Amino acid sequence: MNVIRSLRNYRNFRRTVGQLNAMSNYQLDDLGIVRCDIPEIVRSGR
């Protein structure tokens, strides 16, 4: 059960990081996000 949950969490993490990376720098700036901080922000759930 933990393995399945971990795989789902990882898939959601990668999907969210991918969506944010697809945004332009201008869009990220509007959200107050710097591109290099995306993985950390997604991990922390902010």
**pLDDT averaged over the chain?**
95
Domain that holds residue 14: 2-44
Counting the structural domains of the chain, the total is: 1
The mean per-residue pLDDT over the stretch 6-29 comes to 97
CA distance 34 to 7: 27
Q: What is the pLDDT of residue 26?
A: 97
pLDDT band at 22 (very low <50, low <70, confident <90, very high): very high
Distance CA 35, CA 23 (A): 9
Average pLDDT of span 11-20: 97
Confidence at residue 1, expressed as pLDDT on a 0 to 100 scale: 67
